[in-house]
């Protein structure tokens, strides 16, 4: 996913979180069934972020292709028996969809107003949308995701039982890393000039 698409989705999710509403935006593909008539013509989300936001606020998930084209909206994701403990059905659906190789899922919680980014069945990043000026940090958040988040997951091959810690590099942003990979994370974060 390119940086502009990622930043558009992050900005949309933070806006939704600030208002205390929930959403799921999935980049990739998943089994789903429409909850509403799919009458909106596919569009490039970077060209119309307001429409993306409106569609994300509907019941169900929004699915976007890797190249940033809207694929569907208001869809029920097929989750099977996947449950994300201590979270509701929206997070369970996001967790299930994130387990599909290549998918990245952005889920906004209406309860705690946090944006969580999931990949390979794990939360890799959590953003507190109520943190002052967090939307101004979107380029830095995107940089974290590109240089550390995905790389850490790929190199370390996170598994369900691996201990994970949260590192706060920017106020309101928690990056989740495998404890055995903390040294690797710190090195990559310094290279990316995210931390000193």
In percent, the amount of the chain with pLDDT more than 70 equals 74
What's the structural domain count of the chain? 1
pTM for this model (two decimals): 0.80
pLDDT tens, position by position, 53-83: 999 999 999 999 999 999 999 999 987 788 8
The predicted structure's pLDDT at residue 163: 38
Cβ-Cβ contacts under 8 Å for 171 (sequence gap 6 or more): 131, 134
Q: Is residue 66 part of a domain?
A: yes
Q: Is residue 196 part of a domain?
A: no
CA distance 108 to 41: 24
Q: Name which residue leads in pLDDT, 24 or 188.
A: 24
Q: Is residue 106 part of a domain?
A: yes
Nearest Cα to Cα of residue 176 among 187, 165, 185, 184 = 165
Instruction: Mark 43-70 as b/e (b = at least 16 C-beta within 10 Å).
Output: ebbeeeeeebbebbbeebbbbbbeebeb
Q: Is a pLDDT exceeding 70 seen at residue 52?
A: yes
Q: Is residue 107 part of a domain?
A: yes
- Helix/strand/coil (H, E, C) string of 111-123? CCCEEEEEECCEE
The predicted structure's pLDDT at residue 143: 75
Q: Is a pLDDT exceeding 70 seen at residue 195?
A: no
How many other C-beta atoms can be found within 10 angstroms of the C-beta atom of residue 121? 18
Q: Name which residue leads in pLDDT, 160 or 93.
A: 93
Domain containing 16 equals 3-191
Mean pLDDT, the chain, integer: 81
**Out of 95-109, 124-138, 171-185, least confident range:** 171-185
Q: Is residue 79 part of a domain?
A: yes
Q: Name which residue leads in pLDDT, 84 or 38.
A: 38
Q: Is a pLDDT exceeding 90 seen at residue 144?
A: no
The predicted structure's pLDDT at residue 193: 56
CATH code of the domain containing 139: 3.40.1700.10
The predicted structure's pLDDT at residue 12: 98
């Amino acid at each position: 996913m390119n940086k502009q698409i990622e930043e558009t989705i992050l900005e949309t999710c933070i806006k939704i979180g600030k208002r205390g509403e929930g959403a799921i935006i999935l980049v990739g593909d998943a089994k789903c069934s429409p909850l509403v008539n799919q009458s909106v013509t596919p569009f490039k989300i970077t060209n119309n972020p307001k429409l993306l936001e409106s569609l994300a606020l509907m019941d169900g998930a929004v699915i976007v292709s890797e190249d940033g084209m809207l694929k569907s909206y208001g869809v029920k994701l097929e989750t099977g028996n996947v449950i994300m403990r201590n979270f509701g059905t929206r997070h369970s659906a996001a967790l299930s969809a994130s387990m599909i190789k290549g998918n990245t899922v952005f889920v906004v919680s209406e309860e705690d107003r946090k944006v969580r980014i999931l990949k390979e069945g794990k939360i890799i990043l959590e953003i507190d949308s109520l943190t002052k000026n967090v939307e101004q940090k979107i380029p830095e958040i995107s940089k974290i995701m590109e240089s550390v988040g995905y790389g850490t997951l790929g190199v370390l091959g996170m598994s369900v039982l691996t201990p994970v810690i949260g590192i706060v590099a920017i106020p309101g942003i928690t990056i989740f890393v495998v404890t055995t990979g903390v040294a690797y994370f710190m090195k990559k974060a310094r290279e990316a000039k995210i931390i000193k």
